[in-house]
Amino acid sequence: VAKATGYVNAGTIEMLYQDGEFYFLEMNTRLQVEHCVTELVTSLDLVAEQIRIASGLPLSFTQDEIVRTGHAIECRINAENSAKGFLPSPGTIHDLHIPSGPGVRWDGGYERGDTVSQYYDNLVGKLIVWAPDRDRARLRMLRALSEFEIDGLHTTIPAQKLVLEHPEFAANQHSTRWLEEKADLSGLTSSAGSSAPADGDSSLMARDVPVEVDGRLFAVKVWLPEAPIAGVSAKKSSKPKPAAAGSGGAGGNGTITAPMQGTIVKVLVEVGQEVAAGDSLLVLEAMKMENHINAEQSGKIKELRVETGKTVSAGDILIIIE
């Protein structure tokens, strides 16, 4: 592709794979966030090679010297609330523990005390693992995600653990539509912290925890408290239902609150207007994404407490419906 288009530099080819065939999507004239996977399975430093090309130097290897070894998996750790339709979750990182160990790589710039701003991309960092084969890479990623601790904001970690633990993913039977069609996110907690349960809490759950010893993986069954960091509740009857990505918070008595910090970019209603449940009331922008805030009940707009351009915090009252 690069030769046919006369392109000289690092680039990323995107393709889909189905039924033994590859289908070309597009080429991006840059390295993308997934380039770490290529680096781990080829032992190449693509960033260094990109700099060499820009400096007028040739590549440090030939095509015949590229050898792919093992399997790599990358998880993008985003500041999003998996339990509420992956709503953006800006905030300050109060505590941060990055996993490590054989075959574990972390690419990120945030530290304890830093703030993930509502005005920029919500990527906290990239967690990448390598192992000799896919299943061991999957188990290694599960171990790394279980050790990852971040307090102060929601992340995609609970959803990623759910996917990696699912039998269909383990059997390599997933697709690009799998998350929307098959995954049950209703049991995910929405806690933004990593605090342990209170003393005396007798609610325990059995979990098979992957443990790595001298490069070998073992599945060990342990009984653990239902800590929020686990991301999945074992109590089937008390699963919280995730709010839709466009839903506002209900503060009671028709109060619509901001589900996240952001900026009001469009107000779609006015005082006195009749609305039905599900109608869009306003548009809230956070982390480069526009989120429609919808009415959760029918009624008349009694109060409108925001205007276009106003910055709001999570929990702020936006609209009151009577």
Span 250-266, pLDDT tens digits: 545 688 988 878 899 99
| Average pLDDT of the residues in 307-316 | 87
Token pair of 164 as six digits = 């990696």
Domains (range + CATH), the chain: 2-181 (3.30.470.20), 249-321 (2.40.50.100)
| Average pLDDT of the residues in 278-289 | 86
* Helix/strand/coil (H/E/C) assignment for every residue in 98-165: CCCCCCEEEEECCCCCCEECCCCCCEEEEEEEEECCHHHHHHHHHHHHHHCEEECCCCCHHHHHHHHH
HSE-up of 278 (CA within 13 Å, CB side)? Answer: 0
29 alpha carbon, distance to own chain's centre: 25
Give the pLDDT of residue 268: 94
The 311-312 sheet, strands edge to edge: 289-294, 280-286, 262-267, 311-312
Higher pLDDT, 211 or 278: 278
Higher pLDDT, 13 or 118: 13
Contact 316, 292 (CB under 8 A): no
**For 149-184, what is each residue's pLDDT tens digit?**
999 999 999 999 999 999 999 999 888 888 888 887
Contact 299, 278 (CB under 8 A): no
pTM of the model: 0.66
Sign of CA dihedral 50, 56, 59, 60: negative
Give the pLDDT of residue 208: 56
Rounded Cα distance between 185 and 66, Å, is 40
**For 50-103, what is each residue's pLDDT tens digit?**
999 999 999 999 999 999 999 999 999 999 988 888 888 888 999 999 999 999
Give the pLDDT of residue 262: 86
Give the pLDDT of residue 223: 57
**By C-alpha distance, which of 242, 147, 158 is closest to 192?**
158
Higher pLDDT, 206 or 286: 286
Name every residue whose Cβ is closer than 8 Å to that of residue 63 and which is 6 or more positions away in sequence: none
**For 176-199, what is each residue's pLDDT tens digit?**
888 888 887 877 765 565 443 334
Give the pLDDT of residue 181: 84
Give the pLDDT of residue 195: 40
Contact 249, 259 (CB under 8 A): yes
69 alpha carbon, distance to own chain's centre: 27
Average pLDDT of the chain is 82
